[in-house]
Amino acid sequence: MKVPLPAAAMTLIVTLIAALPVAKLLASVPQSPVGLWRTTDDKTGKPGGLLRIYEQQGNFFARIEKSGAKADTAEICTACVDERKNKPMVGLIIMRNMKLTDGEYEGGDILDPRSGSVYGCKFWLEQGGTRLVVRGFIGISLLGRSQTWKREE
């Protein structure tokens, strides 16, 4: 003779089974900024270049993989004023020495290759690691602007 499961037990079993695909999806979402990111052009709102974030000795860096410009292979950073001056845009390291502190990455700097200006920087992951909010600033974070990058891989 079969003993029927109480309704509460049956509800729990169905809920757990339904939650498995969601748990698997959440487990597969990267919680690290390492990967390929697409920027958005501030002026046009159109998709911009591709940046690769990588980790080296506990610090995070970003380099340009593909610039938003059509002739990106020949483009150089003429506006840069430091060791990056006159270096090719593709391969240029624009974010340096970022460290994870209390859920935010901070302590490094970011280069605007169009102006050659270097700013303080912090960033954090949102939407399960699919979005990266990058804030460049002068002095304190309140004096700056943010961009949201979308994960490509």
Partnered with residue 137 across adjacent β-strands are 120, 144
26 vs 74 pLDDT, higher one: 74
**Is residue 11's pLDDT more than 70?**
no
What single letter denotes the amino acid at residue 79?
Answer: A
Predicted local distance difference test score (pLDDT) of residue 70 = 61
**Is residue 23's pLDDT more than 50?**
no
Of all residues in the chain, what percent carry a pLDDT higher than 90?
Answer: 61
Asked if 48 contacts 41 with a C-beta cutoff of 8 angstroms, the reply is yes
The whole-model pTM stands at 0.76
**Is residue 41's pLDDT more than 60?**
yes
Q: What's the whole-number mean pLDDT along residues 128-149?
A: 91
Structural domains of the chain ordered from first start: 30-151 (2.40.128.520)
